[in-house]
Amino acid sequence: MQSYPAPALARVEHLAAQAAADPARAVSFQGAPGCNGHRAALEWNPDCLPLPCFSFEDALEAVKDGRAGHAIIPIENSQHGRVADIHFLLPESDLRIVGEHFMPIHHALMALGAGPFTAAYSHPQALGQSRFFLRERGMVPLSYADTAGAAAYVAELGDPTVAAIAPRIAAELYGLKVIAENVEDAPDNMTRFVVLAREGRDPASLGAGPKMTTFVFEVKNIPAALYKAMGGFATNGVNMTKLESYQKGASFSATTFYADIVGAPGDPAVDRALEELAFHCKELRMLGTYPQERARG
């Protein structure tokens, strides 16, 4: 908790105390109060008790330790790609994905003074989503752990020549002036969050609506293994909406893949595709099945 800037500490302590009184309602997120994770938690469940955590690992640990019933983590952004290294964090945490939430992202430039500004602090994702705005104004992008934390840090610095890029509410929380709104470079800027819990959801309990299933797998180290592994999804008509590769360890000999598909175990087509995938894999780990919040395609 002491890693937060001083202007954010009292708010962090207040929210943490509320969450501690009713952990089942708590939803942990990465960042200071007022960040996009905070907003996402309240949008996903308006009755939740938001629990700020300094890092993604801390947010997951809060669920593992029973201090929160759920965590909400940003996984990808329409403009700047992958947000969190969920590919590493989620399998190691043993948590399960139980939901998803899509949230439009709008950034504001905020500061103590009126400008001009030499630099702007924010999370690397927000800086990347606003890079043209910053470049046109000659402002140096400086990374911070999260957007609202950057606003609190600028307030703590007391330097009128530096600014922060954060949700508009962060200016109200930390006593900054909003200099410009909607500074993101794309008007349709969107982030997808996943909701995590200790126990996964039974696909049969999710009703008749569309579902998503997420898993990680490592194919056998033989020629055309990935091509063969993917064949079952094509022949069974299962839509794979996301496939990303990443390396585990330093050998660079085995690639692990993270995938989302439309559908759920129990659907014969999905079951056949997953069975064929498993045949070509050294490892296949299911990370969760959950209701689809937004149609793909």
Catalytic residues: 191, 193
CB atoms inside a 10 Å sphere around CB 239 = 12
Length of the chain as a residue count: 297
Q: In whole angstroms, what is the distance from residue 242 CA to residue 232 CA? A: 16
Q: Regarding beta strands 96-104 and 70-77, do their DSSP bridges make them parallel or antiparallel, or are they unpaired? A: unpaired
Residue type, position 172, single letter: E
**49: DSSP letter:** E
Q: In whole angstroms, what is the distance from residue 133 CA to residue 97 CA? A: 35
Considering only CA atoms, which of 44, 76, 37 is closest in space to residue 296? 76
Residue type, position 16, single letter: A
What are the b/e assignments for 275-286, b being 16+ CB within 10 Å?
ebbeebbeebee
Phi, psi of 74 (to 5 degrees): -75, 135
Q: In whole angstroms, what is the distance from residue 61 CA to residue 65 CA? A: 6
Q: Regarding beta strands 96-104 and 140-143, do their DSSP bridges make them parallel or antiparallel, or are they unpaired? A: unpaired
What are the b/e assignments for 90-115, b being 16+ CB within 10 Å?
bbebebbbbbbbebebebbbbbbeee
Place of tokens 């690397």: 124
Residues in a beta bridge with 119: 140, 162
Asked whether the beta carbons of 139 and 110 are under 8 A apart, the reply is no
Residues in a beta bridge with 259: 215, 243
